[in-house]
Each structure stands twice: as structure tokens, then as C-alpha cells.
Amino acid sequence: MGASVDVWREARMVSRSNQADLRSRRQALGISAADMANGTGLPPPRVAEIEEGGASDASRKLYAIWLDIIERWPVAERRLQFRRATEGNLFSRDR
């Protein structure tokens, strides 16, 4: 429960400028949209909708929070998490 509360708390702090180009942020991390969908548990069409700006503010904020979390992971952790996503698993929030 603690992790989801932290995510929602962070959601209120995400500014529109941080969300400006979610697709570019994901691509800069080197993760595909399909793997991002796997890691976050979102359907791939939903990831596309979020990145294109068609989703709700709440959805875009949560997606931006995931990008913030991923950007803070050390490179080795990022590789491990991306491998998990490629295998169809969720990202681990306990890391």
C-alpha cells in the first residue's frame, strides 16, 4: 500500500512542463512502448494514448511518475527492470 500512496502523492507534484513530451522521455531511456506497457501494466494502446496526449490528466501524471522513477534508477537497475518488462513482467516498485 505504501508504494501506491507515494505514487499518488508524487502525482500531485508533477508539473505540466515535466510531462511535455512523454514519448521523448521514454525513448531517451531506451525502452520500447511495448516494454513500458508491460512494466507498468498498461495496455499498449493506452501507452500510445497517454504519449499522444489523449488520456486524462491523471493517467498522464501517473505515467510521468513512472518515467521519473525509472530515470532515478541506476543504470544496472534500469537494465534489470527493462529485462523484466521484456519478459512480460511488471516493474518492481520495491527497488
Query: Does residue 6 register a pLDDT over 60?
Result: no
- Report if residue 66 sits inside a domain: yes
Q: What is the average per-residue pLDDT within 48-70?
A: 94
Which domain range does residue 31 map to?
Answer: 2-86
In this structure, the number of other CB atoms found within 10 A of the CB of residue 45 comes to 10
Count up the domains in the chain and report the number.
1
- Report if residue 26 sits inside a domain: yes
Q: CA 15 → CA 6, 7, 18, 23, 68, distances in Å?
A: 16, 14, 5, 16, 12
pLDDT in tens, 9-45: 554 444 444 456 999 999 999 999 999 999 999 999 9
pTM of the model: 0.76
pLDDT of amino acid 94: 64
CA angle 47, 19, 93 (to 5 degrees): 60
Quick one: DSSP state of residue 92?
Answer: P
- Report if residue 92 sits inside a domain: no
- Give the confidence band of 93 by pLDDT, cuts at 50, 70, 90: confident
